[in-house]
Protein backbone atom coordinates (compact mmCIF):
# COMPACT_ATOMS: atom_id res chain seq x y z
CA UNK A 1 0.00 0.00 0.00
CA UNK A 2 2.86 2.40 0.79
CA UNK A 3 4.24 1.88 -2.74
CA UNK A 4 0.80 2.58 -4.21
CA UNK A 5 0.58 5.81 -2.21
CA UNK A 6 4.06 6.77 -3.44
CA UNK A 7 3.11 6.33 -7.10
CA UNK A 8 -0.27 8.02 -6.64
CA UNK A 9 1.59 10.96 -5.07
CA UNK A 10 4.06 11.14 -7.97
CA UNK A 11 1.30 11.00 -10.56
CA UNK A 12 -0.87 13.47 -8.66
CA UNK A 13 2.01 15.94 -8.42
CA UNK A 14 2.26 15.79 -12.20
CA UNK A 15 -1.42 16.70 -12.50
CA UNK A 16 -2.94 13.27 -13.23
CA UNK A 17 -6.58 13.71 -12.24
CA UNK A 18 -7.28 10.05 -11.44
CA UNK A 19 -4.30 9.95 -9.03
CA UNK A 20 -5.49 13.16 -7.36
CA UNK A 21 -8.95 11.64 -6.92
CA UNK A 22 -7.45 8.47 -5.45
CA UNK A 23 -5.39 10.47 -2.95
CA UNK A 24 -8.45 12.51 -1.98
CA UNK A 25 -10.40 9.29 -1.34
CA UNK A 26 -7.52 7.74 0.66
CA UNK A 27 -7.05 10.77 2.90
CA UNK A 28 -10.81 10.98 3.48
CA UNK A 29 -11.14 7.30 4.40
CA UNK A 30 -7.75 6.75 6.05
CA UNK A 31 -7.14 3.67 3.88
CA UNK A 32 -3.39 3.32 3.20
CA UNK A 33 -2.65 6.67 4.82
CA UNK A 34 -3.52 8.51 8.02
CA UNK A 35 -6.93 10.17 7.69
CA UNK A 36 -6.24 13.84 7.00
CA UNK A 37 -8.94 16.39 6.20
CA UNK A 38 -6.44 19.03 5.07
CA UNK A 39 -4.74 16.69 2.59
CA UNK A 40 -8.07 15.35 1.34
CA UNK A 41 -9.34 18.87 0.76
CA UNK A 42 -6.09 19.85 -0.97
CA UNK A 43 -6.30 17.08 -3.57
CA UNK A 44 -10.04 17.42 -4.14
CA UNK A 45 -9.66 21.16 -4.69
CA UNK A 46 -6.88 20.45 -7.20
CA UNK A 47 -9.21 18.16 -9.13
CA UNK A 48 -11.95 20.81 -9.16
CA UNK A 49 -9.52 23.64 -10.01
CA UNK A 50 -8.04 21.69 -12.93
CA UNK A 51 -11.38 21.61 -14.71
CA UNK A 52 -11.41 24.01 -17.64
CA UNK A 53 -13.47 27.12 -16.81
CA UNK A 54 -16.22 27.77 -19.35
CA UNK A 55 -16.95 30.94 -21.21
CA UNK A 56 -19.74 33.09 -19.77
CA UNK A 57 -22.07 31.98 -22.56
CA UNK A 58 -21.76 28.28 -21.67
CA UNK A 59 -22.17 28.41 -17.87
CA UNK A 60 -24.55 25.79 -16.55
CA UNK A 61 -24.96 22.03 -16.38
CA UNK A 62 -27.81 20.64 -18.51
CA UNK A 63 -29.50 17.64 -16.92
CA UNK A 64 -30.34 14.57 -18.99
CA UNK A 65 -33.91 13.24 -18.65
CA UNK A 66 -32.55 10.42 -16.46
CA UNK A 67 -30.70 12.86 -14.20
CA UNK A 68 -33.71 15.15 -14.01
CA UNK A 69 -35.93 12.27 -12.84
CA UNK A 70 -33.43 11.16 -10.21
CA UNK A 71 -33.08 14.73 -8.91
CA UNK A 72 -36.89 14.85 -8.62
CA UNK A 73 -36.79 11.55 -6.76
CA UNK A 74 -34.20 12.92 -4.31
CA UNK A 75 -36.26 16.05 -3.68
CA UNK A 76 -39.43 14.01 -3.08
CA UNK A 77 -37.64 11.63 -0.72
CA UNK A 78 -35.80 14.27 1.29
CA UNK A 79 -38.67 16.76 1.60
CA UNK A 80 -41.21 14.07 2.52
CA UNK A 81 -38.78 12.77 5.14
CA UNK A 82 -38.25 16.26 6.46
CA UNK A 83 -41.99 16.77 6.90
CA UNK A 84 -42.10 13.56 8.96
CA UNK A 85 -39.27 14.82 11.17
CA UNK A 86 -36.81 12.23 9.79
CA UNK A 87 -33.08 12.86 9.32
CA UNK A 88 -32.52 14.34 5.85
CA UNK A 89 -30.02 16.46 3.93
CA UNK A 90 -32.29 19.49 4.35
CA UNK A 91 -32.43 19.58 8.15
CA UNK A 92 -30.05 22.54 8.30
CA UNK A 93 -32.22 24.45 5.85
CA UNK A 94 -35.01 24.76 8.44
CA UNK A 95 -33.45 23.98 11.81
CA UNK A 96 -33.44 27.67 12.81
CA UNK A 97 -36.86 28.52 11.38
CA UNK A 98 -39.07 25.43 11.72
CA UNK A 99 -39.91 23.52 14.87
CA UNK A 100 -41.77 20.22 15.15
CA UNK A 101 -44.22 20.54 18.04
CA UNK A 102 -47.39 19.03 19.48
CA UNK A 103 -50.39 21.11 20.50
CA UNK A 104 -50.19 19.63 24.02
CA UNK A 105 -46.53 20.59 24.49
CA UNK A 106 -47.11 24.13 23.23
CA UNK A 107 -50.07 24.52 25.61
CA UNK A 108 -47.92 23.34 28.53
CA UNK A 109 -45.16 25.80 27.61
CA UNK A 110 -47.58 28.75 27.51
CA UNK A 111 -49.14 27.68 30.79
CA UNK A 112 -45.74 27.67 32.49
CA UNK A 113 -44.34 30.93 31.06
CA UNK A 114 -45.85 32.90 28.17
CA UNK A 115 -42.75 35.08 27.66
CA UNK A 116 -40.48 32.04 27.37
CA UNK A 117 -42.99 30.28 25.10
CA UNK A 118 -43.16 33.30 22.81
CA UNK A 119 -39.39 33.23 22.45
CA UNK A 120 -39.65 29.63 21.23
CA UNK A 121 -42.76 29.85 19.06
CA UNK A 122 -43.85 33.43 18.21
CA UNK A 123 -43.45 34.17 14.48
CA UNK A 124 -41.69 30.81 14.03
CA UNK A 125 -42.68 28.30 11.34
CA UNK A 126 -44.11 25.27 13.13
CA UNK A 127 -45.12 21.76 12.14
CA UNK A 128 -47.95 21.20 14.63
CA UNK A 129 -49.47 17.82 15.37
CA UNK A 130 -52.50 17.34 17.60
CA UNK A 131 -55.97 15.87 18.02
CA UNK A 132 -58.97 17.91 16.84
CA UNK A 133 -61.27 19.02 19.68
CA UNK A 134 -63.64 21.10 17.51
CA UNK A 135 -63.97 22.78 14.10
CA UNK A 136 -65.18 26.39 14.22
CA UNK A 137 -65.87 29.60 12.33
CA UNK A 138 -64.46 32.81 13.74
CA UNK A 139 -64.78 36.45 12.75
CA UNK A 140 -65.91 36.87 9.13
CA UNK A 141 -66.52 33.11 9.09
CA UNK A 142 -62.79 32.41 8.92
CA UNK A 143 -62.17 28.75 9.85
CA UNK A 144 -60.15 27.55 12.81
CA UNK A 145 -59.84 24.35 14.83
CA UNK A 146 -59.26 23.72 18.50
CA UNK A 147 -56.45 21.23 19.10
CA UNK A 148 -56.06 19.23 22.27
CA UNK A 149 -54.08 21.13 24.89
CA UNK A 150 -53.16 20.71 28.51
CA UNK A 151 -56.54 21.98 29.80
CA UNK A 152 -59.84 22.25 27.96
CA UNK A 153 -60.09 26.02 28.55
CA UNK A 154 -56.63 26.57 27.08
CA UNK A 155 -56.81 24.41 23.96
CA UNK A 156 -54.61 25.90 21.19
CA UNK A 157 -56.36 27.46 18.20
CA UNK A 158 -55.15 26.83 14.63
CA UNK A 159 -56.41 29.53 12.23
CA UNK A 160 -56.60 29.13 8.45
CA UNK A 161 -57.09 31.57 5.60
CA UNK A 162 -60.18 31.25 3.38
CA UNK A 163 -58.31 29.21 0.75
CA UNK A 164 -58.26 26.30 3.20
CA UNK A 165 -62.01 26.40 4.02
CA UNK A 166 -63.02 23.44 1.83
CA UNK A 167 -60.41 21.16 3.42
CA UNK A 168 -61.27 22.35 6.94
CA UNK A 169 -64.92 21.48 6.19
CA UNK A 170 -63.89 17.84 5.71
CA UNK A 171 -62.23 17.52 9.12
CA UNK A 172 -63.80 15.53 11.96
CA UNK A 173 -63.54 15.78 15.73
CA UNK A 174 -61.11 13.34 17.27
CA UNK A 175 -58.93 13.08 14.14
CA UNK A 176 -55.18 13.45 14.36
CA UNK A 177 -54.01 16.47 12.39
CA UNK A 178 -50.64 17.78 11.17
CA UNK A 179 -50.40 21.40 10.05
CA UNK A 180 -47.73 23.89 9.04
CA UNK A 181 -48.44 27.13 10.91
CA UNK A 182 -46.89 30.32 12.21
CA UNK A 183 -46.77 30.81 15.97
CA UNK A 184 -48.97 33.76 16.87
CA UNK A 185 -48.51 34.10 20.63
CA UNK A 186 -51.34 33.62 23.10
CA UNK A 187 -54.62 35.41 23.81
CA UNK A 188 -55.70 35.22 27.47
CA UNK A 189 -53.36 32.26 27.80
CA UNK A 190 -54.71 30.40 24.75
CA UNK A 191 -51.90 29.51 22.28
CA UNK A 192 -52.57 30.75 18.74
CA UNK A 193 -51.36 29.36 15.43
CA UNK A 194 -51.85 31.54 12.35
CA UNK A 195 -51.67 31.08 8.56
CA UNK A 196 -52.03 27.33 8.92
CA UNK A 197 -51.90 25.11 5.85
CA UNK A 198 -52.29 21.37 5.55
CA UNK A 199 -49.24 19.17 5.50
CA UNK A 200 -49.56 18.23 1.82
CA UNK A 201 -49.57 21.89 0.76
CA UNK A 202 -46.54 22.58 2.96
CA UNK A 203 -44.68 19.68 1.30
CA UNK A 204 -45.56 21.06 -2.15
CA UNK A 205 -44.25 24.50 -1.19
CA UNK A 206 -41.05 23.05 0.23
CA UNK A 207 -40.46 20.89 -2.85
CA UNK A 208 -40.84 23.95 -5.05
CA UNK A 209 -38.40 25.90 -2.88
CA UNK A 210 -35.82 23.10 -3.02
CA UNK A 211 -36.30 22.59 -6.79
CA UNK A 212 -35.62 26.27 -7.43
CA UNK A 213 -32.46 26.15 -5.30
CA UNK A 214 -31.13 23.07 -7.08
CA UNK A 215 -31.95 24.71 -10.42
CA UNK A 216 -29.91 27.73 -9.31
CA UNK A 217 -27.03 25.39 -8.46
CA UNK A 218 -26.93 23.83 -11.92
CA UNK A 219 -27.18 27.31 -13.47
CA UNK A 220 -23.95 28.40 -11.79
CA UNK A 221 -25.29 30.21 -8.73
CA UNK A 222 -23.88 29.54 -5.27
CA UNK A 223 -26.31 27.66 -3.01
CA UNK A 224 -26.04 26.01 0.41
CA UNK A 225 -24.09 22.76 0.55
CA UNK A 226 -27.08 20.59 1.50
CA UNK A 227 -28.71 21.44 -1.85
CA UNK A 228 -25.43 20.62 -3.58
CA UNK A 229 -25.16 17.24 -1.84
CA UNK A 230 -28.74 16.38 -2.79
CA UNK A 231 -28.02 17.28 -6.42
CA UNK A 232 -24.82 15.22 -6.41
CA UNK A 233 -26.64 12.18 -4.99
CA UNK A 234 -29.25 12.48 -7.75
CA UNK A 235 -26.52 12.60 -10.41
CA UNK A 236 -24.78 9.58 -8.87
CA UNK A 237 -27.98 7.54 -8.78
CA UNK A 238 -28.55 8.41 -12.45
CA UNK A 239 -25.11 7.00 -13.29
CA UNK A 240 -25.53 3.89 -11.16
CA UNK A 241 -29.05 2.85 -12.17
CA UNK A 242 -29.61 0.97 -15.47
CA UNK A 243 -31.15 2.78 -18.43
CA UNK A 244 -34.34 0.72 -18.12
CA UNK A 245 -34.86 1.75 -14.47
CA UNK A 246 -38.46 2.68 -13.50
CA UNK A 247 -36.94 5.87 -12.12
CA UNK A 248 -36.79 7.07 -15.74
CA UNK A 249 -40.58 7.13 -15.92
CA UNK A 250 -42.80 9.95 -14.72
CA UNK A 251 -42.63 9.97 -10.91
CA UNK A 252 -46.25 9.81 -9.79
CA UNK A 253 -47.07 8.48 -6.31
CA UNK A 254 -47.01 4.82 -7.38
CA UNK A 255 -43.88 5.20 -9.49
CA UNK A 256 -42.14 7.05 -6.66
CA UNK A 257 -42.49 3.91 -4.53
CA UNK A 258 -41.21 1.70 -7.37
CA UNK A 259 -38.26 4.05 -7.87
CA UNK A 260 -37.59 4.05 -4.12
CA UNK A 261 -37.39 0.26 -4.14
CA UNK A 262 -35.08 0.34 -7.17
CA UNK A 263 -32.74 2.84 -5.53
CA UNK A 264 -32.58 0.90 -2.26
CA UNK A 265 -31.88 -2.32 -4.17
CA UNK A 266 -29.13 -0.61 -6.16
CA UNK A 267 -27.53 0.85 -3.01
CA UNK A 268 -27.62 -2.54 -1.31
CA UNK A 269 -25.94 -4.18 -4.30
CA UNK A 270 -23.25 -1.49 -4.41
CA UNK A 271 -22.72 -1.28 -0.65
CA UNK A 272 -19.29 -2.96 -0.76
CA UNK A 273 -18.06 -0.73 -3.58
CA UNK A 274 -19.42 2.36 -1.82
CA UNK A 275 -17.66 1.44 1.43
CA UNK A 276 -14.42 1.01 -0.51
CA UNK A 277 -14.50 4.61 -1.68
CA UNK A 278 -16.37 4.45 -4.98
CA UNK A 279 -19.02 6.85 -3.71
CA UNK A 280 -16.42 9.47 -2.74
CA UNK A 281 -14.45 8.92 -5.94
CA UNK A 282 -17.58 9.43 -8.06
CA UNK A 283 -18.51 12.56 -6.08
CA UNK A 284 -15.07 14.08 -6.71
CA UNK A 285 -15.30 13.24 -10.43
CA UNK A 286 -18.73 14.89 -10.57
CA UNK A 287 -17.38 17.99 -8.83
CA UNK A 288 -14.79 18.33 -11.59
CA UNK A 289 -17.42 17.90 -14.34
CA UNK A 290 -19.69 20.48 -12.71
CA UNK A 291 -16.83 22.91 -12.19
CA UNK A 292 -15.95 22.64 -15.87
CA UNK A 293 -19.51 23.86 -16.60
CA UNK A 294 -19.19 26.85 -14.27
CA UNK A 295 -21.23 25.29 -11.46
CA UNK A 296 -20.08 26.66 -8.11
CA UNK A 297 -19.32 23.97 -5.53
CA UNK A 298 -18.51 24.50 -1.86
CA UNK A 299 -15.70 21.96 -1.78
CA UNK A 300 -14.73 22.43 1.86
CA UNK A 301 -18.24 21.89 3.22
CA UNK A 302 -18.80 18.92 0.94
CA UNK A 303 -15.55 17.35 2.20
CA UNK A 304 -16.83 17.73 5.76
CA UNK A 305 -20.07 16.00 4.77
CA UNK A 306 -18.11 13.17 3.15
CA UNK A 307 -15.97 12.84 6.29
CA UNK A 308 -19.14 12.68 8.39
CA UNK A 309 -20.47 9.96 6.06
CA UNK A 310 -17.25 7.95 6.38
CA UNK A 311 -17.40 8.28 10.17
CA UNK A 312 -21.04 7.18 10.24
CA UNK A 313 -20.27 4.12 8.09
CA UNK A 314 -17.36 3.18 10.35
CA UNK A 315 -19.66 3.27 13.39
CA UNK A 316 -22.29 1.17 11.58
CA UNK A 317 -19.64 -1.36 10.55
CA UNK A 318 -18.34 -1.51 14.10
CA UNK A 319 -21.83 -2.13 15.44
CA UNK A 320 -22.22 -4.92 12.89
CA UNK A 321 -18.94 -6.49 13.96
CA UNK A 322 -19.87 -6.26 17.64
CA UNK A 323 -23.24 -7.87 16.91
CA UNK A 324 -21.54 -10.80 15.14
CA UNK A 325 -19.23 -11.29 18.11
Contacts of 321 (CB under 8 A, 6+ apart): none
> What domains are there in the chain, each with its CATH number?
98-198 (2.40.50.140)
State how far the Cα of 93 lies from the Cα of 78, in Å rounded to an integer: 12
Q: Kindly tell me the burial class for residue 145, based on how many C-beta atoms sit within 10 Å of its own C-beta (0-12, 13-18, 19 or more).
A: buried
- The tens place of each residue's pLDDT in the chain, 325 residues long, gives 566 777 777 787 877 787 888 788 788 777 778 888 888 888 888 888 877 666 666 678 999 888 888 888 888 877 877 766 666 666 665 655 678 899 999 999 999 999 999 999 999 989 999 999 999 998 778 899 999 998 878 899 999 988 889 999 999 999 999 999 999 999 999 999 999 999 888 888 888 988 999 999 999 898 888 888 888 888 888 888 887 777 766 655 556 677 777 777 777 766 645 555 677 788 888 888 888 888 888 788 777 766 665 555 555 555 554 544 4
Contacts of 1 (CB under 8 A, 6+ apart): 32
Q: Encode burial over 209-222: b for 16+ CB neighbours within 10 A, e otherwise.
A: ebeebbbebbbbee
CA 28, 30, 33, 35: dihedral to nearest 10 degrees?
60
Amino acid sequence: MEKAVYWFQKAADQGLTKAQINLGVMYLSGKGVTKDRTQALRWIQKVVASASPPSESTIGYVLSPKESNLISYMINEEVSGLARGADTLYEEMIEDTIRFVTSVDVAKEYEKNQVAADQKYFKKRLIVSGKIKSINSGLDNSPYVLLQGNHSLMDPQAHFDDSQTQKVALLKKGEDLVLACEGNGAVIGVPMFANCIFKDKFIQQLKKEVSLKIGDFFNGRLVEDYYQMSALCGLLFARWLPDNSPCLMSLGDSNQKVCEGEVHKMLEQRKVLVSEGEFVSDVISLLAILSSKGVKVQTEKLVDRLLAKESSEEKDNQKGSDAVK
